[in-house]
Amino acid sequence: MLGAHIDSWDLGTGAIDDGAGVGIVMTASKLILDLPERPKRTIRVVLFGAEEIGIYGGNFYVENNRNELARHIIAVEADAGQGPVHTIDIGVGNPLEPTLSTIRSALSKLGVQPGRAKSRGGPDIVPMSNAGVPIVGLDMFTDDYFDLHHTANDTIDKIEPERINQSAAAYVTFAYLASELGGYYRATD
């Protein structure tokens, strides 16, 4: 599952928080959709609402999809601006799953390095993590994020194509490989 949130703070237009995240996951899904063959696994894109006022969309998703959560292989959320993505944090029950090394290797070509082993993901997918869904965090460069985040300066002219393009490339790489390689990321007995 690829996620982002569609609401923004009331002062700005929400280009960085979280229009950039929406653009990243929609671009990733469009690039995968345009491939000559469908991925082996379904890739669900969720644009959550009401993140800014209490993670209502993430909680709603879990409550209304509780019977399907066991079928969710892995989830990631874009909610830290435009990037670029610099590390991949793994929050899965089976961190030794062999496909993770293939994914890390592919992401390293985009400048993405291994990160922490205890990711819970972005705010909207924390409820999924709490319900046992494996999570990955594609952590983004945020040195200037909080200069714009929740301010009137959060406008589209702040989007830098080379940064957001690298983030979209990281998300498409992750989503496609997680689908195609057939990994199992939940805890094994």
Strand, coil or helix: 82 = strand
Question: pLDDT (tens digit, 9 = 90+) per residue, 47-79?
Answer: 999 988 899 999 999 999 999 999 999 999 999
Q: Judge contact between 34 and 176, C-beta under 8 A.
A: no
Question: pLDDT (tens digit, 9 = 90+) per residue, 101-126?
Answer: 999 999 999 999 998 877 878 899 99
Mean pLDDT of the chain: 93
| Furthest CA-CA distance within the chain | 50
pTM of the model: 0.95
Domains and CATH numbers, the chain: 2-180 (3.40.630.10)
Q: For residue 70, give Cα distances in angstroms to 23, 67, 133, 157.
A: 28, 7, 7, 41
Quote the pLDDT of residue 169.
98
pLDDT above 70 (res 189): no
Sign of CA dihedral 112, 116, 118, 119: negative
β-bridge partners, 40: none
pLDDT above 90 (res 7): no
| Separation of alpha carbons 160 and 9, rounded Å | 21
Confidence of residue 6 (pLDDT cuts 50, 70, 90): very high
- The residues, any chain, with a CB within 8 Å of residue 151's CB and separated by 6 or more, are 9, 11, 12
| Separation of alpha carbons 189 and 186, rounded Å | 10
Q: What is the mean pLDDT of residues 144-162?
A: 91
pLDDT above 70 (res 148): yes
Weakest mean pLDDT among 20-29, 30-39, 113-122, 173-182: 113-122
